[in-house]
Structure 1
Amino acid sequence: MRLTGGTALLGFAGTASADHTTADPVSGAPIPNNPGQYTYATMGHGGNPTATLYGNFKCPYTQDFVLNNLEDVIREFVEPGRLDIRFRALAYEPPGHSSHGSSYYFISDSDPLISESAMGAWNAEADEYWAFFRDMFENKVSGNVSYDDMRARMNQSDLEERDTAISWAKDGRYEDTVYQTRYAAGDDGVTYTHRRSNWTATRHPRTTTRRIF
């Protein structure tokens, strides 16, 4: 994986090397204290430079990154406390772009429901979120996805608070939060999820580091 720009902030340059001592580091990723204060699902110890990972639960390129690259990033940066990572699900096309045959939804009209349900899982049961997140890509959803489908996926991932998560999503609690990601992605120059897992870094006004793939 190639890192470009802002690497001095992390004290690292080059390719992330894997220390294959931690089994399934995505599922077991650390989460900050008081996770409820984080709007978007975040892994790390808190208080570190923060990388924003844009992806889509139906996207095969996001799936490839999560299953084949993210664990190395966690071992190299997140576990040692050098970086936090937040995930923002891209349910809508960034303004002015159309990369999947739609000028509105990123892949399909199920994207908002999936993304909002996942945010419910983060808020209802943060300790189990990253295992659920990985399961979502291990067996990627496809076709029309309903709340019942998402509840079943959460059940498979042993989320005990799945009914609460789905209820919050149904109530529209995350509708605007998910929608605003399209504008954040546009501001960060994201037009689509790339096949290659290249990250571009820029300084955030509040001293965090944004990285996009």
Structure 2
Amino acid sequence: ADGLEDRRRESGGARVPANKLTEEEKARIIEVCNRGEYQSSAPSRIVPRLADTGVYIASESSFYRVLKEVDQLHRRGRARTPRAVIKPKGYKAQAPNQVWSWDITYLASAVRGSFYYLYMVEDIYSRKIVCWEVRERESAEHASELIRKGRLAEGIRREGLILHSDNGSPMRGATMLARATQIAVIRQIVFKHWLLRRKMPIQAFFEGGGNAFIGR
């Protein structure tokens, strides 16, 4: 409007926040974070521990910001260097009896707190249940024997059958590993990771009411 003059830019630059950290406060944050008792902890742990002793320097976000400025946010003290996690190798079946998936699940018994164990092997190409058994306990010995029976029933005498499972103890048992070597089975242990980046069919079968179906 006529007669008005804009003087908002004559203040000498951007306004400084009243709660801006001073250089002394930043130096104290760095010093505290590098103390022996705090050097391996993240700000999310340091700030509450300081508060428990009645000390407040700055907010948690300020701690993160200051550490980032001095390149100490990624790893400090005795914290281990991050390591790359290699994704498990995936397999895709082009025909029956190339890749089997197997798992173990609980079956409720007539006694409360007591369970049976259902062992099941499924062909991922045809979705055929190759073999299954119900046992009173979970063990690598039972699993290896079931795999042997399934291989004989399907007439598999060549090498190259891939046996896919999660990382449970029966899957990693010495008996199971020995059986896989004996019958020339290539075994791939993958935990919570399916060959085609989806839920294992046998796990989906169990979660979708397969237990009730088997119990009929």
TM-score, length of structure 1 as denominator length = 0.25
Q: Say which structure is richer in helix.
A: 1
TM-score, length of structure 2 as denominator length = 0.25
Larger relative contact order (Cα-Cα within 8 Å, sequence gap ≥ 6): 1
Q: Say which structure is richer in strand.
A: 2
- The structure with more radius of gyration: 2
